[in-house]
Amino acid sequence: MRGGSRLLAGVLVGTWAAVYLVTQVLVVPPLGVLPTLAAGLVVSTVVVLGYPSALRGPRGPRRPRDPRGVRDGLTIAAAGRSMPLRNGLTPDAARRTAELIRPLLGGDAIAITDTEQVLAFVGPGSDHHHVGGTLQTRVSRLALDKKRTVVMHARDGIGCPEPGCPLRTAVVAPLAVADRVVGTLKVYRVHDEPAPRVLVDDMASMLSLHLELAEMDRESHLASDAKLDALRAQINPHFLFNILNTIASKSRTDPEESRQLLLRLSDFFRYAVRQDGHFAEFSQEYFFVRTYVSLEQARFGDRLRVRYDLDPQVLTSRVPVLVIQPIVENAVKHGIADSVTGGTVQLRARVDPLTRTTSIRVSDDGVGMAPEVLERLLAGERPGAGSTQHSGVGLWNISQRLDSLFGDRYSFDVASTPGKGTTVDLRIPLR
């Protein structure tokens, strides 16, 4: 359950408690059951409908849950679910992992290394097995080189250069991502019986799996970032040339308007390049859209009309960045620009408090698109050589980004009728 839903559930429980107190406990005689239920339902409905109506202020980033909270009653399954290495092989994650798995493996000391240095060491011997130091023991090098688990039954086999080292036996298992060894898991004991090899092997396999998942996560994030960068870099040069020409032509006849247009153009590019994350408040995206539209209106004049129809609740909801403007741009480019009489682009945004979704619709009454053009746009194919039409990479990119952000929890529908216009419907979870 997400934070917002948890808060809403808490408010609802508090509401019913208040209704119960006022109608049953504090009053003589108590209210009947049916009127009490009716009162509770009315108040609950008001709360559910009114909850997203309040404009919420900026919210700070959510702090990740502390995986150390599962110390009591620790099981391997619980350790697996909360494994810090899920975020990658870092010193902090390695230390937390070593603390977490130490009681499970029956070792006196646990160390996690990468291929060069000790990332974490917990237990006896930590006075000279320093975190951040290079790998001192021969047994680590052996496991890294052979890419398999190594068991040492004697102190000499470990190869620690410190004469007073209390560690007597060691089981060292390599940590691998795909076929590449990226580190080791070392379980030491201060007596002659080494830790069970199978247990250490299994734990190393589990940690390797988490590292692979972390690697996949990292690649997925890189892909998402690349898609966003591509969209950011995709601002059509034709748009820039046209706007600059418009500004140049107006600079003689209407210098003040050309100055306003330059400022808007500056705002437009600043917003496009300054977006770091994947989400922004709807009002910011709305600012970006109206900046874009006002620039296009300077070029198209009365041929381009626009109508915004926004719920107040939607202004503070968080939407994926650079999603609405490309849709509006497509409406202008493919719907209005080719129409002799021009047309109207309508942006409609609503919040559904019951299904907790944000719906955004961009429609135009322009020339519409033939089915094959629509299909090409959604597929992201570029137009033929020499064409001045902008490619549909925008819509395809948006669809891919929504996929990576929401999985199957969104809908993105495009409907177009030649001669009547195009409608793009987007429904995403309310954030």
Partner 1 sequence: MDDDVDAGHTPAEVDATFRTLRRVAVGYFVVFLLAVAAFPVLTLTLDWWSQARLAGGMSPGFLVAAFGLYVFFAVLGIAVARLSSAVEHRMLDGTPEGSPGEALDEPGERP
Helix (H, G, I), strand (E, B) or coil at 36: helix
Supply φ then ψ for residue 88, to 5 degrees: 115, 165
Which residue lies nearer to partner 1 by CB, 72 or 256?
Answer: 256
Rounded Cα distance between 394 and 272, Å, is: 14
- Rg of the chain on CA atoms, in Å: 31
Least Å from the CB of residue 328 to partner 1: 12
**Nearest 10 degrees: Cα torsion 152, 158, 159, 164:** -130
Residue 55 or 198 having the CB closest to partner 1: 55
CB 332 within 8 A of CB 363: no
> Which of 117/284 has CB closer to partner 1?
284
CA gap 300, 38 in Å, rounded: 56
Among 55, 198, 216, 223, binds partner 1 (CB under 8 A): 55
Q: Which of 112, 306, 331, 398 binds partner 1 (CB under 8 A)?
A: 306
Task: Give the N- to C-terminal CA distance of the chain in Å, as an integer.
Answer: 13
Pick one of 10, 103, 301, 312: the residue that binds partner 1 (CB under 8 A): 312
- 119 in Cβ contact with 183 (< 8 Å): yes
When asked if residue 287 is in the footprint of partner 1 (CB under 8 A), the reply is yes
Q: Is residue 183 within 8 Å of residue 160, measured between CB atoms?
A: no
Shortest approach of partner 1 to residue 252 CB, angstroms? 18
> What's the min distance (Å) between Cβ of 2 and partner 1?
23
Binds partner 1 by CB under 8 A, chosen from 244, 273, 370, 379? 273
Q: Say whether residue 154 binds partner 1 (CB under 8 A).
A: no
266 binds partner 1 (CB under 8 A): yes
The verdict on 48 binding partner 1 (CB under 8 A) reads no
User: Per CB under 8 A, does 281 bind partner 1?
Assistant: yes
Closer by beta carbon to partner 1, 31 or else 142: 31
Q: Does 37 bind partner 1 (CB under 8 A)?
A: no
Does residue 193 interact with partner 1 by CB under 8 A? no
Nearest to 8 by CA among 53, 66, 71, 69: 53
Q: Which is nearer to partner 1, 292 or 412 (CB)?
A: 292
CB of 427 to partner 1, least distance (A): 20
CA 187 to chain centre: 36
5, 45, 53, 249: residue in contact with partner 1 (rule CB under 8 A) = 53
Burial of 36 (0-12, 13-18, 19+ CB in 10 A): middle
Output 197 or 290, the one with its CB closest to partner 1: 290
User: Residue 126 has which token pair?
Assistant: 């930590």
Q: CB pairs under 8 A, 24+ apart, for 114-121?
A: 114/89, 114/182, 114/183, 115/144, 115/181, 115/182, 115/183, 119/89, 119/90, 119/91, 119/94, 119/95, 119/183, 120/91, 120/94, 120/95
Counting contacts by CB under 8 A, is residue 292 touching partner 1? no
Q: Which of 267, 320, 255 is nearest to 293 (CA)?
A: 267
Out of 15, 205, 284, 389, point to the residue binding partner 1 (CB under 8 A). 284
18 binds partner 1 (CB under 8 A): no
Applying the rule CB under 8 A, the residues between 315 and 374 that interact with partner 1 are 315-316
User: CB of 186 within 8 A of CB of 171?
Assistant: yes
Q: Is residue 14 at the binding interface for partner 1, with CB under 8 A as the rule?
A: no
Specify the stretch interacting with partner 1 by CB under 8 A; choose among 26-34, 94-102, 118-126, 416-424: 26-34
Which residues contact partner 1 by CB under 8 A? 22, 26-29, 31-32, 35, 53-55, 260, 262-264, 266-267, 270-271, 273-274, 281, 283-284, 286-287, 290, 293-294, 297, 305-312, 315-316
